[in-house]
A = this chain, B = another copy of it.
Amino acid sequence: MRRWNGWGDDTIEFALDADALGFLAGRIGSGTAIADAAFEQACARLRPSRLAPQRLIDTAAAVRLRHALGQSLPDWLRLRYGEIDTAPDGVAFPESAQDVRELLAYAAEHDVALVPHGGGTSVAGHLTAPGGPRAVLSVSTVRLCQMLSLDRQSQLASFGAGVFGPDLEAQLRAHGYTLGHFPQSFEYSTLGGWIVTRSSGQQSLRYGRIEQMFKGGSVETPAGRLDLPTFPASAAGTDLREMVLGSEGRLGILTEATVRITPLAEYEAFHAVFFPGWEQAEAAVRAVVQGGLSLSMLRLSNPLETVTMLALAGHKGLIGALETWLSWRGCKEDKCMLMIGVSGKKRAAKTALADALALVRPHGGVHIGRKMGDKWKQNRFRNVYLRNAAWQHGYAIDTVETAVDWPRVRGMMQAVEDAAGAALALHGEKVHTYTHLSHLYTQGASVYTTFVYRLAGNFEQDLARWRSLKCAVSMAIVDHGGTISHQHGVGSDHAPYLEAEKGPLGIGAMRALFRHFDPQQIMNPGKLLPAESEAP
């Protein structure tokens, strides 16, 4: 069963062994385990529902609690400490577009705020019920989950927008196709969630971001239905799909989506390459991504992430031998690990891999083969369980991500890591930070930084630590010319920083757009755009 206050399924554990704990303790001190609030206890503390009865709405406390929050660190703090100050007054499970229209009419009539809910994996505060006197209804899309059509000639498939990643892929695989969208949240996130938050998957180098996959669909908005027909391309004015992408529930509820599909890759492999240091590694990946090779993934870890991954990998003996060998080849304490993925026709994939390896060699790249790549693939959706394991030992893990053009990549990485260190120092704590470039483009890269630090064991103090850190790293991103999110979206947590990149005129344009579709402003109020200037 899904954990109510942590990541993923409660039968899956990802343990930290003594060496890993020793590594963390050495860097940031020993953690202290904290007792979590019980589910029943948290349920009992929810205030009574304010919603008028409706056939599609469930107001049971357990259901409300399970839809109250997402997976951001402040969401976790609230759940773990049982401090759920806001929760929806009910949850609806529409099974058709007609049901969604019924809920929109109900919300308009009763002045209820709607919070669309897909897989509940948001790490940016998209799902928090707004406070205030208005009742709040969470609208779960998970029963809108069927495959509706498959057009082999055009390589398009339509699904109910609430379909989960694995269900979508299973249905396509039966016909020989894949969508190819594999964010780390893949197992618990939905197609609609990916679209409205502009998600990006681990193999975006081959399959593109969700923006490139989303070809059409249907959105139920308070002002009516918006149908998006599919065209291979169009010069007919504004592309309405772009109004839906990244709209984060502000303009309506996406009920159906048509996506581009691709025949299943006949061959797939992930290979690891090590570099002596960051400078060589960055130059190498730029040469590879600008070389136009048909790769499916490039993922470059900085020295500290490389050290951390090796330390947490287990298999101490094997890793030790690898490090000794790498050291002979010039990859010592500053070594950086690059993961290269290839997917597709066997001959083309092998050629692309060989071309990539030829391009990294002059930069000191040392190819160590498939073994670590296979391991990475095996754990691609498992590493996130580390958050559960770390919490059990008194550590918080949080991440932040952005994207910048190439000249800014290195400075951004440094600035974000430094900002985190300074922020936690104010609390007398250390933070273990490490970074990778998760998505590479000819133009630049996403910069994805992880923070591990100790929990205080007290809700207010832990929230304060997180706030300091989040604020500091977000300001660093803004100051160094990055976008406030490359793949997680805006939600509540990034909303205060959005104007830095959109400008007041751009923010106003987004508001004008959402007002058109939602004149009463019942859709996910306060998300994406800062709440303070919400008043019409």
Contact string, A29-62, partner B, CB cutoff 8 A, digits 1/0? 0000000000000000000000000000000000
Q: Contacts of A320 on B, CB cut-off 8 Å?
A: none
Q: Are A405 and B485 in contact (CB under 8 A)?
A: no
Q: Are A486 and B246 in contact (CB under 8 A)?
A: no
Q: Are B236 and A484 in contact (CB under 8 A)?
A: yes
Q: Contacts of A439 on B, CB cut-off 8 Å?
A: 232-233
Q: Are A230 and B441 in contact (CB under 8 A)?
A: no
Enumerate A121-165 residues with CB–CB distance to B below 8 Å.
Answer: 151, 153-156
Distance in Å: Cβ of A372 to nearest Cβ of chain B: 26
Enumerate A320-367 residues with CB–CB distance to B below 8 Å.
Answer: 344, 348
Closest 7 CB pairs of A and B: A242-B242, A232-B444, A232-B441, A198-B235, A234-B483, A512-B516, A153-B406
Q: Are B240 and A246 in contact (CB under 8 A)?
A: no
Distance in Å: Cβ of A209 to nearest Cβ of chain B: 6
Contact string, A191-230, partner B, CB cutoff 8 A, digits 1/0? 0000001111000000001010001000001011111011
Is A515 on the interface with B (CB-CB < 8 A)?
yes
Task: State in angstroms the CA–CA spacing of A487 and B231 once bound together.
Answer: 12
Distance in Å: Cβ of A116 to nearest Cβ of chain B: 15
Contact string, A264-303, partner B, CB cutoff 8 A, digits 1/0? 0000000000000000000000100010101000000000
Is A446 on the interface with B (CB-CB < 8 A)?
yes
Q: Contacts of A482 on B, CB cut-off 8 Å?
A: 231
Task: State in angstroms the CA–CA spacing of A323 and B496 once bound together.
Answer: 68
With beta carbons under 8 angstroms apart, the residue of B233, B488, B512, B528 that contacts A209 is B233
Distance in Å: Cβ of A93 to nearest Cβ of chain B: 26
Chain A contact-residue range equals: 35 or more
Interface hit among A63-71, A76-84, A97-105, A497-505 = A497-505
Distance in Å: Cβ of A181 to nearest Cβ of chain B: 13
Contact A490:B237 (CB < 8 A) given known A405-B231, A501-B229: yes
Is A13 on the interface with B (CB-CB < 8 A)?
no
Chain A to chain B contacts (Cβ below 8 Å), 25 pairs: A154-B405, A154-B407, A155-B443, A198-B235, A198-B236, A211-B239, A215-B443, A226-B503, A231-B403, A231-B405, A231-B444, A232-B403, A232-B405, A232-B441, A232-B486, A234-B403, A234-B486, A236-B483, A237-B489, A237-B502, A238-B509, A239-B242, A239-B245, A292-B344, A505-B517
Q: Are B445 and A235 in contact (CB under 8 A)?
A: no
Task: State in angstroms the CA–CA spacing of A144 and B504 once bound together.
Answer: 25
Enumerate A494-526 residues with CB–CB distance to B below 8 Å.
Answer: 494, 498, 501-506, 508-510, 512-513, 515-517
Is A455 on the interface with B (CB-CB < 8 A)?
no
Q: Are A229 and B515 in contact (CB under 8 A)?
A: no
Tell me which of A506, A517, A529 has the highest count of chain B C-beta atoms within 10 A of its own C-beta.
Answer: A506
Q: Are A226 and B516 in contact (CB under 8 A)?
A: no
Q: Contacts of A481 on B, CB cut-off 8 Å?
A: 229
Distance in Å: Cβ of A503 to nearest Cβ of chain B: 6
Question: What residues make up the interface of A, taking CB atoms closer than 8 Å to B?
Answer: 151, 153-156, 197-200, 209, 211, 215, 221, 223-227, 229-240, 242-243, 245-248, 260, 286, 290, 292, 294, 344, 348, 403-407, 439, 441-446, 481-490, 494, 498, 501-506, 508-510, 512-513, 515-517, 528-529
Distance in Å: Cβ of A300 to nearest Cβ of chain B: 14
Secondary structure dominating the interface of A: loop
With beta carbons under 8 angstroms apart, the residue of B406, B510, B512 that contacts A237 is B510
Distance in Å: Cβ of A284 to nearest Cβ of chain B: 14
Distance in Å: Cβ of A287 to nearest Cβ of chain B: 11
Q: Are A505 and B225 in contact (CB under 8 A)?
A: yes
Q: Contacts of A504 on B, CB cut-off 8 Å?
A: 224
Q: Contacts of A487 on B, CB cut-off 8 Å?
A: 235
Q: Are B246 and A238 in contact (CB under 8 A)?
A: yes
A345: nearest chain-B partner, CB-CB = B292
Q: Contacts of A226 on B, CB cut-off 8 Å?
A: 503, 505-506, 509
Task: State in angstroms the CA–CA spacing of A243 and B242 once bound together.
Answer: 9
Q: Are B231 and A442 in contact (CB under 8 A)?
A: no
Given contacts A151-B405, A154-B406, A211-B239, 16 further A-B contacts (CB under 8 A): A151-B406, A229-B481, A234-B501, A235-B485, A235-B488, A235-B489, A236-B483, A236-B490, A237-B490, A238-B243, A239-B246, A292-B344, A505-B517, A508-B516, A512-B513, A512-B516
With beta carbons under 8 angstroms apart, the residue of B155, B197, B224, B290 that contacts A235 is B197
Q: Are B238 and A247 in contact (CB under 8 A)?
A: yes
Task: State in angstroms the CA–CA spacing of A153 and B443 once bound together.
Answer: 8
